[in-house]
Amino acid sequence: MPAGGLSMYVLLWSIGLYMRLTVLVVPPLIPRLESMLGFSTSQVAVITSLPALLIGAGALVGGWLVGRAGVIPTIVTGLLVTGLGSTIRSVPVAFAPFLAATVVMGAGIALIQTSMPTLARGWMPERVGRGTAVYSNGLLVGELVAAGLTGPLATHVLGDAWQWAFAIWALPIPVIVVAVLVHGRGGMQTQSERSEQLVAAHLSWRHPLIWKVAILLGTAGGLYFTGNVFLSSVLAESGRASLLDTGLAALNGFQLFSSGLLIVFADRLLGRRWPLLVIVGGALLAVPAVLWAPGDWVVLAAGVFGFFTSSMLIFALTLPAWLVPPDQVARLAAGAFAVGNGIVFAAPVIAGWIKDATGSAAAGFLPVVVLGLITMALSGGIHPHAVRREEAHG
């Protein structure tokens, strides 16, 4: 298999789509889930953010499976399980079976996301950064496509059969699986990569950088998912429900601008505290704009909110490889992503409970706003000079 071939870029991008696409099908369908299936805001928050918890919990399982079966079988298994879970979500008419199907889908996404760094390295050993950027772009486009097109698909194509939107978005998965099996034999994991996965299984939780990166990741995801869940309520309360599809498209579409800018400027910004303060502060300032912007301005406010939350996410994903020596990257990443994805799951759920109890979306945003303020307070000392090798080895 020729490294860096066009087919490999296309496959990396296509797999990246399914790291988020099936998750972001839910927000455009929130009004139907609540009015037709009787889901509460907190239940919607659970099914939206649960995959993030499963990704964190499944990190070590995915690493173990890559080490035992190889990266191609793990990717294929993850894609098939993701497609199965998403398809099953088209069938249930109650919360419990819908939640069970979401667990299946989230387990598949966990296998995909855990395997992707190894896959990019195996397919493009001399262009790992470019490979990572390609599948990350696929992830962001998957969010945009799901958030922006699911509503029109359900309204203008499916009608009363709107629940089948979950299955329709999974239809390309078998094609991707076949392409991976045909073209992906050269992406098998090397012995050195197996050793790196084994390092990740022995975590040291004492190093403060694990917690700083985890809280940054948790804040980015917590704000992002809370915004996606609450936008429907904010617009409905102000009589602008017709702007939901446009608002979700802006929230997710503006992320592409942040990824493009950070590809150019990230290396110059790493190690400085002020970029993180600006990014987190910008996201927090965008919250009241989303809540109270008049008329169509809420669409722009949602876009700005998405720009800053995605900037935070990209910083969080970049930091482990930049902060520590190569032999410690897997350890820092596994610990930070496990804790961070737990926060990503919990924050929107708590926000949903508060919103259900108070009837106020503004009150529901409070937990993630507090989380953002904590992130700003802890943003100092995120630099390689702060690393102590003996602490990392515990």
Strands (E), the chain: none
**Paired tokens of 345:** 């799951």
**What's the pLDDT at 126?**
62
Tens-place pLDDT, residues 61-97 = 776 777 778 789 989 999 999 999 999 999 877 888 9
Contact criterion met (CB below 8 Å) for 306 and 298: no
Contact criterion met (CB below 8 Å) for 86 and 170: yes
pTM assigned to the model: 0.70
**What's the pLDDT at 174?**
95
Amino acid present at 372:
G
Q: What Å distances lie between residue 6 and 3, 10, 131, 181, CA to CA? A: 9, 6, 11, 16
**Paired tokens of 196:** 């790196």
Q: Residue 272: phi, psi to the nearest 5? A: -105, 140
**What's the pLDDT at 263?**
60
3-state helix, strand, coil in the chain (%, to 5): 80, 0, 20
Q: What Å distances lie between residue 32 and 24, 50, 281, CA to CA? A: 15, 20, 34
**What's the pLDDT at 306?**
92
Contact criterion met (CB below 8 Å) for 209 and 387: yes
Where is 271: in which H helix or E strand? none
**What's the pLDDT at 193?**
43
Q: What Å distances lie between residue 232 and 1, 41, 240, 246, 389, CA to CA? A: 46, 10, 9, 11, 47
Contact criterion met (CB below 8 Å) for 29 and 169: no
Long-range contacts of 10-13 (CB under 8 A, 24+ apart): 11/176, 11/179, 11/180, 11/183, 11/184, 12/116, 12/119, 12/120, 12/123, 12/131, 12/134, 12/135, 12/138, 13/134, 13/135, 13/137, 13/138, 13/141
Determine the Cα–Cα distance for residues 48 and 27; give it in Å rounded to an integer: 8
**What's the pLDDT at 339?**
83
- Rounding to the nearest 10 degrees, give the CA dihedral for residues 394, 381, 210, 125: -100
Determine the Cα–Cα distance for residues 68 and 117; give it in Å rounded to an integer: 16
Q: Residue 37: phi, psi to the nearest 5? A: -105, -5
**What's the pLDDT at 300?**
94
Tens-place pLDDT, residues 340-379 = 888 888 888 899 899 888 888 889 899 999 999 999 998 8
3-class state of residue 102 by DSSP: helix
Tell me, rounded to whole angstroms, the distance of Cα 14 from its chain centroid.
16
For the chain, domains (ranges, CATH) are: 1-201 (1.20.1250.20), 203-394 (1.20.1250.20)
Long-range contacts of 307-310 (CB under 8 A, 24+ apart): 307/254, 307/255, 307/257, 307/258, 307/282, 308/258, 308/279, 308/280, 308/282, 308/283, 309/220, 309/223, 309/224, 309/227, 309/255, 309/283, 310/140, 310/220, 310/224, 310/254, 310/255, 310/258, 310/259
Written as tens digits, the pLDDT of the chain (394 aa) is 444 477 888 898 999 999 989 988 888 888 888 888 888 878 887 887 777 778 777 766 776 777 778 789 989 999 999 999 999 999 877 888 999 999 999 889 988 877 776 777 677 766 655 666 678 778 888 888 887 889 899 888 988 889 999 999 999 999 999 999 988 765 444 444 444 444 444 445 667 778 888 899 899 989 988 998 888 888 888 888 888 888 988 888 888 887 777 666 666 776 788 888 999 999 999 999 999 998 899 999 999 999 999 888 877 776 765 666 645 655 666 677 778 888 888 888 899 899 888 888 889 899 999 999 999 998 877 766 555 544 444 4
Contact criterion met (CB below 8 Å) for 2 and 126: no
Q: What Å distances lie between residue 340 and 196, 286, 289, 333, 344, CA to CA? A: 21, 22, 26, 10, 6
**What's the pLDDT at 267?**
63
**What's the pLDDT at 279?**
92
**What's the pLDDT at 329?**
57
Q: Which of 127, 1, 118 is nearest to 69 (CA)?
A: 118
Cβ neighbors of 352 (< 8 A, separation 6 or more) are: 40, 41, 42, 43, 44, 45, 46, 229, 364
